[in-house]
Structure 1
Amino acid sequence: MDLISALNWRYATKRMNGEKVPQEKIENILESVRLSASSIGLQPYNVIVVEDPAVKEKIKAVANNQPQIAEASHLLIFAAWDTLTEEKIDNYINLTASTRNMPVESLSTIKGYLSAILKNTPEQNFNWMARQAYIAFGTAITAAALEQVDATPMEGFNGPALDELLGLSERGLKSVTILTLGYRDTTTDWLAPMKKVRYPKEELFVNITDSDLKEAV
């Protein structure tokens, strides 16, 4: 299935049938997350993978009892780092140096960019890191569609309660969003037969030329 066909096929599945997604497909989706774009390449987040039915039931209780949580084959919980530190920056710089077989000193410019971010407020930094998690989240949704695995993006959950349940604070993480993976139940999902609703491209995309720019004051 080509990309556009896959995106037309996918939708935010409201009910799933409990069927297991083959591990190969799960691994492909996870690898897409690992390879996803990230500002400066830092990837300031982790993805919690949940397959255990008992854990899914407990998560469901703090996610407004949405049925897809328990019906899904797997849950992916995208959790941003709660704090950016010099240690985390150094770890990334060292990883880059070893991966590319280059001296750490040659990465001083990149380290400077990251160190400058530390001057922002903790709230600004968390918001930035959460946005990076969302980039990976979007990649996972697209990868799932290409694998013809249904996925439901979810923000309707109690973040602090989920963090406590999974012990995320001890890991230096805060949950940002959840993606359920599984297969649609067309007999109970009211949204399954509905047409996809999207704005036409003439309304969505805005082309700006030099003549549209305002003169600097």
Structure 2
Amino acid sequence: MNKIVESLEWRYASKRMNGKKVPAEKINNILEAIRLAPSSMGLQPYTVLVIEDEELKKKIQPIAMNQPQIVESSHLLVFAAWHNITPEHIGEYISHTATVRNMQEEALSDFKNTLLSIAENNTQEQNFTWAAKQAYIAFGTALVAAAAEEVDATPMEGFNNAALDELLNLKEMGLRSVTLMPLGYRDTENDWLANLPKVRRQKEKLFILQ
């Protein structure tokens, strides 16, 4: 079986974790996969907070419907999208691109103007929605990367975004929370889902071949 398919067959959304720490190398591999994830125009309009502090996780738990994985996890990832796409964001991205590719910024002027036009012609909320969609691509990439490392990862949308933003001072950073991902190891004795077969739609219903 293909390694990726094998890893995805192994993974599930763990409902309980055992508190065991994930080795730094595995965490770094997951974070690097997030960094390498694709995004529209390559802008990556989001930031990922990596939370290990146990006291902070305890404060987040009631904001996230008291889900136990928050405090039982080794690390908690918070995917936060940019509140708006600004000329400063775009200018920094263009400058970084020119540096990495050893080229003059002027050679990227058409690309820069395209990005500026898109951002300026959208409302702030439209820009945030677009940024959040890009964050979800990185989020999905992280789930696959965690599975490849045999690290459990639970995708979470069930939390009070506004309360989390306030707790983490995300507004001051120009960010709004989108999703959460506890990383850790499954507690098979206390997780009702751990030994149940994976349920997915049948291939013939999911795919249309034309």
Match of 1:87?
88
Determine if contact 1:40/1:110 at 8 Å carries over to the other structure. Answer: no
- Give the Cα–Cα distance (whole angstroms) in 1 for the partners of residues 197 and 115 of structure 2: 44
Determine if contact 1:15/1:67 at 8 Å carries over to the other structure. Answer: yes
- Give the Cα–Cα distance (whole angstroms) in 1 for the partners of residues 139 and 51 of structure 2: 15
Match of 2:183?
181
Note the 1:7-18 alignment, pairs <5 A. Answer: 7-18=8-19
SS at structure 1 position matched to 2:126 = helix
Match of 2:145?
143
Amino acid of the structure 1 residue aligned with 2:30: I
Deviation at 1:72, TM superposition (A): 0.4
After the TM superposition, list the runs of 4 or more consecutive aligned residues in structure 1 that deviate by more than 3 angstroms. Answer: none
Match of 1:4?
5
Amino acid of the structure 1 residue aligned with 2:168: L
Give the gaps of 5 or more residues in structure 2: none
Match of 1:204?
206
Deviation at 1:113, TM superposition (A): 2.3
SS at structure 2 position matched to 1:139 = helix
SS at structure 1 position matched to 2:179 = strand
Determine if contact 1:56/1:70 at 8 Å carries over to the other structure. Answer: yes
Note the 1:66-105 alignment, pairs <5 A. Answer: 66-105=67-106
Deviation at 1:59, TM superposition (A): 0.5
SS at structure 2 position matched to 1:115 = helix
Deviation at 1:110, TM superposition (A): 1.6
Amino acid of the structure 2 residue aligned with 1:158: N
Q: Which has the larger radius of gyration?
A: 1
Structure 1 residue 164 and structure 2 residue 166: aligned? Answer: yes
- Give the Cα–Cα distance (whole angstroms) in 2 for the partners of residues 62 and 104 of structure 1: 44
Amino acid of the structure 2 residue aligned with 1:31: E
Match of 2:28?
27
Match of 1:155?
157
**TM-score, structure 2 length as denominator?**
0.97
Match of 1:215?
none
Alignment identity in percent? 62
Determine if contact 1:159/1:175 at 8 Å carries over to the other structure. Answer: yes
Q: How many residues align?
A: 208
Match of 1:36?
37
SS at structure 1 position matched to 2:106 = helix
What's the CA shift string for 1:31-67, capped at 9, x where partnerless? 0001110111101000000001101000001101000
What's the CA shift string for 1:5-50, capped at 9, x where partnerless? 0000000000000000001000000000011101111010000000
